[in-house]
Amino acid sequence: MKSSNSRPSRVGRNPFVHELKFTMTEKVKIGLMSVTVFPVRLLLVSFLMLLAWPFAFTASLGRSEFVIEPQSWWRRCIDVCLRVIMRAMWFCGGFHWIKVKGQQATPSEAPILTVAPHSSYFDAIPVTMTMCSIVTKLESRSIPVWGTLISYIRPVFVFRSDQDSRKKTVEEIKRRAQSGGKWPQIMIFPEGTCTNRSGLILYKAGAFIPGLPVQPVVLRYSNKLDTVTWTWQGPGAFKILWLTLCQPHNSMEIEYLPIYTPSDEEKENSALFANNVRKLMAEALGLPLTDLSFDDRYICLSKGPLEIFDLCSLLEFNRLVCRLGLKSKANRDSLEEQARRARKLQEEVRLSSDDFASFLNLPVTDTLTQVHSLFNKHEDGLIDIRHYIIALSTVYQPSKSMETLRLAFMMYESEESGEVQEEDLATILEIMLGVEEVELSGFFLSLDGGDKGKITYDELHSFIEQHPNFVQDYLDFKNHPRHFCVGHPEKSCNGENHNKDV
């Protein structure tokens, strides 16, 4: 599979991974803080959170989540009390002073605040300081104590079990944003997930669809030891809390940037609006932009014996199939059904864009044509539909590579022997790994009877189980990591020894 030249694929550092490494001095400090300061801080934080609960519960009684209501005097008093309690809670957690730059706009000037980068549950600090509404999943309301505090700020709840959830959420954001400042401001984290702050990933369009002015807000954590980052791969929630409460001081800065008013073109194109705001915020933060999104997280974190080596082409493919709605409809049964249909095509397995659209039961669109062009290897306007199915299985279940391999064998194997030819296996692995020019001659020579140039799924599965470094040790392809190892032919690039049975 090839990458399109229409847009560059900027990946860089994986934003969904956070690794913590400690020096011996830091370990000693954490050990001392764990038995002295940590218990006290945890007790105070818990007490203040519990203290805030009755205030939030009382203020939430009898209040509608959908109707604008004037703030009564007693609710205004509770609001002040809650802000004081929550600020005291963060102070006890080590956030002794929080630097605020710029001026927060009023709801009538900018009904939506876009906040980035989103990297921690400590990003709740600006929410509690402003008592803005947020967008959050419905399940958050069920969290003991904290759920009541979330309900108090009248969030926009996302019903993930509802198929029309995204549409309803956008409509609710739009309804509140167009109220002329009568609703509280909505604070939205447009990245849609937590990252490690190495760059700004693609923004979701929800905050920008109303086409109204937004105020960008940037967050900075400047501690040398980053204990606040909580993302998909790294320290868990309690470890982050423990390590952060063990810091003598936790530094945080909130900066309100000037209000961004969209142009007529941006009002019509929410993606353009989102990307221009993202560029502005990245410049203020001094961070790069990365062409990754929330939907790409599992691909970036793929694991297994055949984990993805080069993300670029598969990430581009993933964006396109998500846009077509094909990934959301994918499951094991549908993939196997497509594999059986491809198997029946036999000699007619190569399809034009019209045939490809017919196979997927979709109209021919620009996006579908882009997907088709990714597999147009011979530049003849025809693609092998099996290549598309392998790629879809790879992005649907990136950490279950052996299931994708089994699916590929269903389409390629001989009916008599169940074997797959060497050149077909090379094509399968090229797509699954996202690489080019896989060479398998060395691998087949290492097999008993490998000179026949064929292999069954069971034989390959067994071999991979016995050789966990199969990709590094037995494959050869363009930009293989082995090519960058100099003077150590017996070692892989990470310096670990691997015994080869050759």
Amino acid 12: pLDDT: 65
Amino acid 138: pLDDT: 82
Question: Using an 8 Å Cβ cutoff, are 228 and 196 in contact?
Answer: no
Q: Is the pLDDT of residue 401 over 50?
A: yes
Question: Using an 8 Å Cβ cutoff, are 253 and 95 in contact?
Answer: no
**Within this chain, do residues 313 and 238 fall inside the same structural domain, yes or no?**
no
**Within this chain, do residues 138 and 282 fall inside the same structural domain, yes or no?**
yes
Give the chain's domain count: 2
* Within-domain flag for 38: yes
The H-or-E segment that residue 369 falls in is helix 366-374
Q: Which of 267, 296, 325 is the last residue of a domain?
A: 296
Question: Using an 8 Å Cβ cutoff, are 220 and 310 in contact?
Answer: no
Confidence tier at 498 by pLDDT (50, 70, 90): very low
Q: What is the pTM of this model?
A: 0.84
Amino acid 60: pLDDT: 85
Q: Is the pLDDT of residue 428 over 70?
A: yes
379 backbone φψ class: left, alpha, beta (φ>0; ψ -120 to 50): left
* Within-domain flag for 499: no
Task: Classify residue 216 as exposed, middle or buried by CB count within 10 Å of its CB (0-12, 13-18, 19+).
Answer: buried
Which domain covers residue 213, as residue numbers?
Answer: 24-296
* Within-domain flag for 17: no
**Within this chain, do residues 233 and 348 fall inside the same structural domain, yes or no?**
no
Helix (H, G, I), strand (E, B) or coil at 73: helix
pLDDT digits (tens, 9 = 90+) for 291-301: 898 889 999 99
pLDDT digits (tens, 9 = 90+) for 160-169: 666 677 788 8
Q: Which of 270, 296, 322 is the last residue of a domain?
A: 296
**Within this chain, do residues 30 and 147 fall inside the same structural domain, yes or no?**
yes
What's the CA gap between 6 and 501, in Å, rounded? 44
* Within-domain flag for 50: yes
Confidence tier at 501 by pLDDT (50, 70, 90): very low
* Within-domain flag for 154: yes
**Within this chain, do residues 285 and 310 fall inside the same structural domain, yes or no?**
no
**Within this chain, do residues 320 and 266 fall inside the same structural domain, yes or no?**
no
pLDDT digits (tens, 9 = 90+) for 349-359: 889 999 999 99
**Within this chain, do residues 32 and 181 fall inside the same structural domain, yes or no?**
yes
DSSP states of 229-276: ---SBSS-HHHHHHHHHTSS---EEEEEPPPBPPPHHHHH-HHHHHHH
Percent of the chain's residues with pLDDT above 70:
91
Confidence tier at 369 by pLDDT (50, 70, 90): very high
Confidence tier at 494 by pLDDT (50, 70, 90): very low
**Within this chain, do residues 267 and 322 fall inside the same structural domain, yes or no?**
no
Amino acid 491: pLDDT: 36
How would you write 453-470 as a 3-class SS string? CEEEHHHHHHHHHHCCCH
**Within this chain, do residues 208 and 111 fall inside the same structural domain, yes or no?**
yes
Mean pLDDT for the stretch of residues 129-141: 88
* Within-domain flag for 359: yes
* Within-domain flag for 7: no
Q: Tell me the CA distances in angstroms from 111 to 79, 136, 212, 218, one per residue in order.
A: 19, 17, 8, 17
Mean pLDDT for the stretch of residues 89-94: 96
* Within-domain flag for 119: yes
Q: Which of 250, 265, 296 is the last residue of a domain?
A: 296
**Within this chain, do residues 159 and 67 fall inside the same structural domain, yes or no?**
yes
**Within this chain, do residues 133 and 43 fall inside the same structural domain, yes or no?**
yes
**Within this chain, do residues 156 and 210 fall inside the same structural domain, yes or no?**
yes
